[in-house]
Amino acid sequence: MGTITALGLILLICMVAVGGTQGLQAWISLIFNFSALFFAMVLMAFHLPPVLVTLVTGVIVLAMTIFLGGNDSSSTMVAFYASVAVLILLVILIIPVEHWSQIQGFGQEDSEDLEGMSTILGISYLNVAISTAILSTLGAIAEAAIAIAAGLAEILEQHPKITLKNLQGAGFKVGSQIIGTTFNTLFFGFFGGFLALFIWFAGVHYSPGEILNDKILVGEVLMVLFSMMAVIATIPLTTWAMVASERQARKRFLK
């Protein structure tokens, strides 16, 4: 048995042992997300526009992660709408920043990997960089949206008569509780993965100026920042979506 299969099976067993049906759903969503990512990559290799492929994949992935992750159907709907809104805002931000910073493709640190490879590709790597940045934030968006929506749904359950203004305040309060730890999830997730690059910088004695203008480092830091902004934006957007859906529900109740 290969290592990946073995680890995957152990993860399945652990998830089901701890979470039951929900654990199984979590595992399925992981497998699904991998397939979606791989499929998106193959479509890009067949010259479909990368950003368009990414947007469609992004919405599907958000739906799968949120609907397979959450329990309560009304709060998961809100989380889904809010996360799609965040995704759209993020794309509007990512496209100009990537055009400005020009971090697409490979840097001089990658030359070993590129040896013997043809770089005549016919795919715009600027668009691939935009796609990569969008894809890397999807998990963070989904997680934050679920956390805020679930937290608010619980508050609504315990205090069904809470005013909408207080509900909004509660949303920001839940947000302030998750922001510190979520930032660290993102920080360690990205920087842990790029430990080797930092060791390279230190070993070859890059100057601060070289590091701050390095294609790969700037690209990497931008991805962390996009994810962080996605989480920050998710807090008010999910809260407002929740308040709006509650307002509608109450109006319907009055009629």
Q: How far apart are CA 155 and CA 226, in angstroms?
A: 29
Minimum distance from residue 34 beta carbon to another protein (Å): 7
Minimum distance from residue 78 beta carbon to another protein (Å): 15
DSSP 109: G
Within residues 20-59, the interface with another protein by CB under 8 A covers 20, 22-23, 25-26, 29-30, 33-34, 37-38, 41-42, 44-45
Residue from 149, 156, 167, 223 in contact with another protein (CB under 8 A): 223
**Cα dihedral: 20, 149, 247, 159 (round 10):** 70
Residue from 202, 248, 249, 250 in contact with another protein (CB under 8 A): 202
Give whichever of 3 and 255 is closer to another protein, judged by the CB atom.
Answer: 3
Give the SS3 label for residue 62: helix
Residue 201: name the closest of 187, 218, 185 by CA: 218
Minimum distance from residue 87 beta carbon to another protein (Å): 12
- Could you give the count of Cα atoms lying within 13 Å of 240 in the half-sphere of its Cβ? 10
The answer to the question of residue 110 lying near another protein (CB under 8 A) is yes
Within residues 73-92, the interface with another protein by CB under 8 A covers none
Residue from 78, 84, 135, 167 in contact with another protein (CB under 8 A): 135
Q: How far apart are CA 110 and CA 104, in angstroms?
A: 12
Locate 90 and state its tokens: 């993020």
Locate 34 and state its tokens: 């991998």
Amino acid letter at 94? I
Give whichever of 84 and 128 is closer to another protein, judged by the CB atom.
Answer: 128
| Residue 125 CA: distances (Å) to CA of 35, 90, 128, 136, 193 | 22, 19, 5, 16, 22
Residue from 90, 148, 149, 150 in contact with another protein (CB under 8 A): 150
Residue from 213, 247, 248, 249 in contact with another protein (CB under 8 A): 213
Residue from 59, 63, 91, 185 in contact with another protein (CB under 8 A): 185
Minimum distance from residue 255 beta carbon to another protein (Å): 31
| Residue 166 CA: distances (Å) to CA of 169, 172, 173 | 5, 10, 10
Locate 139 and state its tokens: 């998990």
Give whichever of 30 and 77 is closer to another protein, judged by the CB atom.
Answer: 30
Give whichever of 191 and 245 is closer to another protein, judged by the CB atom.
Answer: 191
Residue from 87, 186, 241, 243 in contact with another protein (CB under 8 A): 186
